[in-house]
Amino acid sequence: MVAIDMLGGILIFFVAIATAWPLTPSEHFEAIVKRLDKPPVPNSQELLAHFDRVPLNSCLFYTGGTLDAAVKYGETNTLFLINELDLDGWTTQSEDTPNEFGDSDYAPDCPMSFAFQQPYFDAGVGWGKDEHAKYWDNLSEAIALKCRGDAYLALPPALTIPEDSVFARMEFSALQRNAAITRLLGVVVNDDDSFLELPYPLWERCAAP
């Protein structure tokens, strides 16, 4: 009789815990999963789908602190930078998809968005600096693989391409691997955003024998 009473007490104890637990079994399992693993960084092939179709001969890259001049050159010559080819909020932040603080954010299903990362942050496994850097590296590689025909590179007057720049590390090799790219043309720009000369060939694909 005592054993039965003890068993009943134990059963009541566990039922009380189960009813007091704030998470449903599926929510509890999801929380555990988020604690065990942070979301992987999409590779360049996975990110290709998040760029709009790139018009022929219209990709513009920049390096050596030439972003502002590249933007101006692109506007003048109908060339596109990576953020201008965003298809669904995986490349640029927008006021149309604000985060909980009201700031512009990426699309909620984008791993860079606060909405996507928040559960992982809460579990202590959200993306850090390394994951963010890898995401942008992969995005840059993806757009280089998406381009067709001639591509353009904005260069500073010193004609330097920093060894640790995204273009040197990711984009140039991707352009070379992209069989749809025929040439890379350099555009030398000034600090005042003026253009020093017409585009000239930096690299050209060898014709098949």
pLDDT digits (tens, 9 = 90+) for 17-31: 344 444 455 665 565
Q: Is the pLDDT of residue 170 over 90?
A: yes
- H-type alpha helices, 43-199: 44-47, 67-77, 114-122, 129-146, 166, 172-177
What is the average pLDDT score of the chain? Answer: 85
Q: What is the dihedral of CA 58, 61, 62, 68, to 10 degrees?
A: 50
Q: Tell me which residue of 86, 91, 82 sits closest to 110, measured CA to CA.
A: 91
Binned at pLDDT 50, 70 and 90, residue 50 comes out as: very high
pLDDT of residue 30: 62
Pick the closest to residue 49 from 117, 119, 107, 124 (CA basis).
107
pLDDT band with cut points at 50, 70 and 90 for residue 191: confident
- Range list of β-strands (E), the chain: 59-62, 149-155, 181-188, 200-204
The predicted-structure confidence for 86-118, as pLDDT tens digits, reads as follows: 999 999 999 999 999 999 999 999 999 999 999
Top-level CATH class of 42-92+128-204?
A: alpha beta
Q: What gap in Å lies between CA 181 and CA 63, rounded to an integer? A: 19
Percentage of the chain beyond pLDDT 70 is: 79
Which pLDDT does position 28 carry in this prediction?
A: 56
The whole-number pLDDT of residue 27 equals: 60
Map out the domains of the chain as residue ranges. Answer: 42-92+128-204
